[in-house]
Structure 1
Amino acid sequence: MTEQRKLPDPPKTLLERAESMFGLGGYKPAPVPDELAKPVNRRVSKRKEEASPAEVAKPAAQAPVAPSVPEVAPEPVYEDVRFPDAIHPVDRDCLARHGLIQPEGQVTALLEEFRIVKRRVLAAVRKAQESGSDAMAQRVLVCSPLPDEGKSFCAVNLALAMAAEKDSEVLLVDADFAKPSVLKMLGLPKGPGFMDVLARDDLKVEDCVLATDIAGLHVLPAGNHTTSDSEFLASHRTAEVLDRLTRGSPKRIVIFDSPPALAASPAAELANHVGQAIVVARADRTGQSSLEDALTLLSACPDIKLLLNAAHFSPSGRRFGAYYGEEA
C-alpha cells in the first residue's frame, strides 16, 4: 500500500503570523461603509423629490434674456422730384430746317426708322429692369467717334420718336458742353443746365429742366461750358444729379447727346453712368479704326449698339414711309 501522510498546512501570511505572535484577536477585513462620502469638488444633481425644503423655497430662476438686436437704421426718405410746369413751345420750323421728325406730321421714312431704333432701346431697358438693374437702365448715351457724323441729329430724333410712346416719357439732356446744339435744333431758350448743376451744390437739376409743348418730352440744357467738364463728370455729385432725373419715374428714359468719343473725354465719363450707348457711324465717313477706338473708350457701358447714319442703299428694298402715302 502506498504510504499516506498528512499534507502540511499552507504557509501563513504575514498578517496571520503577526496575529499569532501578538494576539490581535483574529484578523478581520476593514469595514466598508454602506454609503461613500459625497465628493466636494463636483456638482451633484438632485432629483426634484429629493430637493431640500430650503431649495424648494427658492424662487425659480429667471428665463435667459435674449441678446439685444441692434436697431436697423430706417431707409432714407427721398423728397419727390418734380419738373417745372412752365411749357416752352418747340419751334416746328427749326425741326423742319434740321430735317427732324415733325411730331404732328405725316409718317415718314425717318420716323419709321427711329421707331425701329426706339423699340430696340425700350426692349433693352425693360430687360435690364427685369434683371434687377437700377436707374442706369433708364439712361441712354448717344455719341459718335468723330464730329459731323450725325450724333445730335440721331439723339433728337430718337427723343422725338420716344416722346410719342404711351407708356413712357423722355428727357433729352444736352451733354455736349463744348458745342451744345439741342436747344438750337428745337428752338428753345437758353438757360442754366447740366454743367451748372454739377458745378454748384445749391442748384437743383430739376429746376433747369424745360417742359415742352410736345407731350412726353423734356429737355435739360448743357449749361455753361467750363475747362473742367470731365472732372465735374467724374465727381460723386454726378451720380446724385442723375439719380434725381429718374427718381420716382421708372418709365422715364434719359437720352444724353454727348460729345464725339474721340474728340472730347466727357463721352467716356458718361459711359460709366448709362445702361446702354448708341454709337452713330456715318456710312460715307466713319472709318473702322476710329469706330473700334470709340468702342474701346465706351467699354464701361454694359450695352453698346451701333447705328448706321446716312445710308442711302438698302439691299432688301426697304422703303419705310412710302406705304402710308399710297391710296387704298
Structure 2
Amino acid sequence: MTEQSKINRKGSKRTSLFERADQMFGLDNMGPAAVPTNLPDVEPRVPRAVRDATEVSQRHAVPTEPVMPEPAQTAAPQPAVKPQERKVVLSGPHQKVDREILREEGLIVPEDQVTGLLEEFRIVKRELLADARASSDAAARRILVCSPLPGEGKTYCAINLAIALAAERDVEVVLVDADVLNPSVARRLGIDAGKGLMDTLVDDNAHPERLAIGTDIDGLFVLPAGSSSARDAEYLASARTGEVLDRLTRGAPNRFVIFDTPPALAASPAAELAAHVGQALLVVRADETSRAALEDAQQLLSACPDIKLLLNATRFSPSGRQFGDYGERE
C-alpha cells in the first residue's frame, strides 16, 4: 500500500506541481556546472566533406617554382669616351707657288684647264682617299711616295698627287720633302726652302707645324727637307720621328701628309719612314724598272701595311682610254 502524506488544506495556499517538486527535490540549487580552466587546446572540428575536398585538391595541385626576388637593376657600364685631340694648326710662313715653273716642269696647274694628267692623278687619289677614310688609324693619312731607283719620277708624282689631293673640299695636304740628300720639292714649286723636317728631328723644341710653308694653292702646305748632316739616317730612325709625324696629323682628320723620299735602293730614309705611314706609293717607270728592283724595293718598304704600285711614263692603255680631249671634241 502506497504511503501518502496528508495534505493540509487549511491555512495554506494552493501550490502547483512545480512548486512542490522544487520543495521536494531542491531544484533551486541546480545550475550550469563551472567550466574547467585547465582543459587542453583542441583544434576545431572540420566537417568531413570539407576535409575530403581539400585532400583531393592538394593531390592534383601543379607544383610551382619558388618565386625568387628579382635582382636589383644596375646601370650598364658606359664606355669610356676618348677625349678629342686638340688640332695642331699649321702656322708656318706663307709663300706663292710659281705657276710658270709648274708649267715648265710639266706639273698640274690648279687654275688651268682639266688635262689628262689631272684626270690620271684624280684616279690615283681616289683610291688613296678611300683607304685612308676606311681606317681609323691616323697613319693611313700619311702616304709615302718612293721609287726603287733614281730617275723614275717619284718627286714628279708626289707633287702632282699633293696638288690633286689639295683640290678636295676641306682637305689639307702637307707635302714633306724627305729626300734630304737631294731635296727638290721647293725648287719645283718656285718657293724658298728654309728649316724643315731634319731640323725638327735634331731640335726637340722645333715644331713641324711652325715650319710648314703655307702656299697660295688652297689646302697645300710644304715642309722642306731642312738641314742635312751625316747623321740623317740615325735621326730618322729615332723615336723623335714618330713624335714629329704624329703632330702633323694630330686632331686633324682631314689632313694628309705626303712624303717624297729618296729611292728605296739608293738610301735608307724610305725604309725608315715606311714604319710611320699607312700607305706607300711605289713609282716604277714603264719598260725601265726591272722586276728584281721592284721586289727589292717592296721588301725594304715592308714595314708599311699597304704598298701600291704606280706605273709612270706609260703610253699604252688596253681600253684605249685617253683623258684630256673630251671637252675639246664637244
Q: Deviations over 1:29-64 (max 9, x none)?
A: xxxxxxxxxxxxxxxxxxxxxxxxxxxxxxxxxxxx
Q: What residue in structure 2 maps to residue 270 of structure 1?
A: 273
Say yes or no: does 1:120 pair with 2:130: no
1:80 deviates by: 4.8
Q: What residue in structure 2 maps to residue 92 of structure 1?
A: 99
Say yes or no: does 1:303 pair with 2:306: yes
Count of matched residue positions in the alignment of Structure 1 and Structure 2: 250
Report which stretch shifted further, 261-270 or 161-170: 161-170
Q: What is the DSSP-based 3-state SS (H/G/I as helix, E as strand, rest coil) of the residue aligned with 1:206?
A: helix
Does the 8 A contact of 1:141 with 1:278 survive in 2? yes
Say yes or no: does 1:230 pair with 2:233: yes
Q: What is the DSSP-based 3-state SS (H/G/I as helix, E as strand, rest coil) of the residue aligned with 2:288?
A: coil
Q: What residue in structure 2 maps to residue 44 of structure 1?
A: none
Q: What residue in structure 2 maps to residue 152 of structure 1?
A: 155
**1:19-98 alignment, distance < 5 Å:** 80-84=87-91, 86-98=93-105
Q: What residue in structure 2 maps to residue 167 of structure 1?
A: 170
Q: What is the DSSP-based 3-state SS (H/G/I as helix, E as strand, rest coil) of the residue aligned with 2:134?
A: helix
**1:254-293 alignment, distance < 5 Å:** 254-293=257-296
Unaligned runs of 5+ in 1: 1-74
Q: What is the DSSP-based 3-state SS (H/G/I as helix, E as strand, rest coil) of the residue aligned with 2:257?
A: strand
Q: Larger Cα Rg: Structure 1 or Structure 2? A: 2
Q: What is the DSSP-based 3-state SS (H/G/I as helix, E as strand, rest coil) of the residue aligned with 2:135?
A: helix
Tell me the percent identity: 61
For 1:149, give the aligned amino acid: E
1:286 deviates by: 0.6
RMSD: 1.7
Does the 8 A contact of 2:174 with 2:221 survive in 1? yes
User: 2: CA distance between counterparts of 1:150 and 1:77?
Assistant: 39
1:160 deviates by: 0.4
Q: Deviations over 1:82-101 (max 9, x none)?
A: 21264310000110111000
Unaligned runs of 5+ in 2: 1-81
Q: What residue in structure 1 maps to residue 245 of structure 2?
A: 242
User: 2: CA distance between counterparts of 1:204 and 1:217?
Assistant: 18
After TM superposition, the score normalised by the length of structure 2 is: 0.73
1:326 deviates by: 2.1
Q: Deviations over 1:65-94 (max 9, x none)?
A: xxxxxxxxxx99976522126431000011
Does the 8 A contact of 2:183 with 2:225 survive in 1? yes
Does the 8 A contact of 1:149 with 1:282 survive in 2? yes
| Alignment match of 2:110 (pick from 96, 103, 106) | 103
After TM superposition, the score normalised by the length of structure 1 is: 0.74
User: 2: CA distance between counterparts of 1:303 and 1:207?
Assistant: 30
User: 1: CA distance between counterparts of 2:182 and 2:129?
Assistant: 28
